[in-house]
Amino acid sequence: MRWEGDWQKFDDERVMEYLRDHDTGNVSEIQKALSRTVPHYLLRERLRLLAQAGYVEPGPDYRNYELTNWGLRWLEGRVRADLLHPAPSAARPGYVLR
């Protein structure tokens, strides 16, 4: 059972599943793989929010993302996102939400 947070959206789970299955991915690749159309800008914002939560991590170019151990644990039902409230942090460049 996956514990969803009130900050999560439907596509967040699909994005993390994609990254689990493909190791890395960028917005365009993930957008093509989703079963419904999600605007590019919205998917980029969701990836940034998932990065703030610690579930995904941007690569050095900030275009590709990969799933973290926390993201994998959430997919396995071992982490509760409902207890997490992601927030922007200046200490994490590239993760800041706009």
Confidence of residue 93 (pLDDT cuts 50, 70, 90): low
Q: What SS3 class is residue 50?
A: helix
CATH of domain 10-83: 1.10.10.10
Q: Mean of the pLDDT values across residues 81-91?
A: 72
* Domains of the chain by residue range: 10-83
Task: Give residue-wise pLDDT tens across range 7-61.
Answer: 788 889 999 999 999 999 999 999 999 888 889 999 998 998 899 888 999 988 8
pLDDT at 67 over 90: yes
Q: What SS3 class is residue 87?
A: coil
